Amino acid sequence: MTDLSAEDLVAIYAKPTPRVIAKARPAIDAHARKFIEMSPFCVLATSGADGSVDASPRGGGIGFVHVAGPNQLLMPDRSGNNRIDSFRNVVEGSGFVQLLFFVPGIDETLRVGGRGTLSADPDLLAAMVEFGKPPRAALNVAVSEVYFHCGKALMRSKLWSSEKVQRSVMPSIIEVIHDQTGLGEPESQEIVEERYKTQL
């Protein structure tokens, strides 16, 4: 297998159309705002000081990411595994973040890029109570680029299809990690889901 060069890419791929270039906007407009306000899920990508890249899923109630202005987003941080890879990258790495928003039933996605900072301001966190508790911190994104992706990837994957994989085809995440590491005790999916309900 031969690695492609930049020159190879130019030969393989056509130039993007003017419309594809122009769709990248410098701020959140009415369409992007509506999409974010309908979204219960996004993927947050960050880059570390060593050049590593992290991408992690983020979710909440519909519109859990708050549009504070045309160039500002606020995302609450909910209970997780405490690795805080994304947040370490924000404070120790480049500070640049990318968010990819999904809305169930819509094949298009929305990408938002900018520079992130973190806040634990009590008043801000108190305004973001969900699932009966405030977040531990909030990500503040100074937005510099916003654009919609076409729906081809989700159409190809049939992500929103009614045909779903039964959860039982995979062991629980605790059983997987126990097999991989030998640490802790294996737990069934039913036990894991019950505990999740208390940790949202």
Query: For position 80, what pLDDT does the model report?
Result: 83
Query: For position 59, what pLDDT does the model report?
Result: 95
pLDDT above 90 as % of the chain = 84
Q: Please list, residue by residue across 98-109, b when 16 or more beta carbons sit within 10 angstroms of its beta carbon and e when fewer do.
A: bbbbbbeeebbb
Whether pLDDT at 3 is above 90: yes
Place 131 in a pLDDT band, splitting at 50, 70 and 90. Answer: confident
Whether pLDDT at 200 is above 80: no
Query: d(Cα 59, Cα 77) in Å, to the nearest integer?
Result: 9
Query: For position 1, what pLDDT does the model report?
Result: 85
pLDDT in tens, 35-75: 999 999 999 999 999 999 999 999 999 999 999 999 999 99
Query: For position 81, what pLDDT does the model report?
Result: 84
Query: For position 195, what pLDDT does the model report?
Result: 86
Query: For position 62, what pLDDT does the model report?
Result: 96
Query: For position 192, what pLDDT does the model report?
Result: 87
Query: d(Cα 76, Cα 82) in Å, to the nearest integer?
Result: 15
Mean pLDDT is lowest, of 17-26, 75-84, 118-127, for: 75-84
For the residues 121-131, what does the mean pLDDT come to? 94
The gap from C-alpha 133 to its chain's centroid, in whole angstroms, comes to 21
Query: d(Cα 168, Cα 179) in Å, to the nearest integer?
Result: 17
99 to each of 5, 29, 61, how far by Cα in Å?
Answer: 28, 16, 17
138 to each of 75, 115, 128, 135, 169, how far by Cα in Å?
Answer: 5, 14, 9, 7, 36
Query: For position 79, what pLDDT does the model report?
Result: 82
Reference 66, options 58, 57, 76, 56; nearest CA is: 76
Mean pLDDT for the chain overall: 94
Of the two residues 27 and 51, the one the predictor is more confident about is: 27
pTM, two decimals, is: 0.92
CA dihedral 60, 63, 67, 73 (to 10 degrees): 20
Query: For position 199, what pLDDT does the model report?
Result: 80
For strands 106-119 and 137-149, give the pairing.
Answer: antiparallel
Query: d(Cα 92, Cα 84) in Å, to the nearest integer?
Result: 12
- The three-class DSSP label of residue 154 is helix
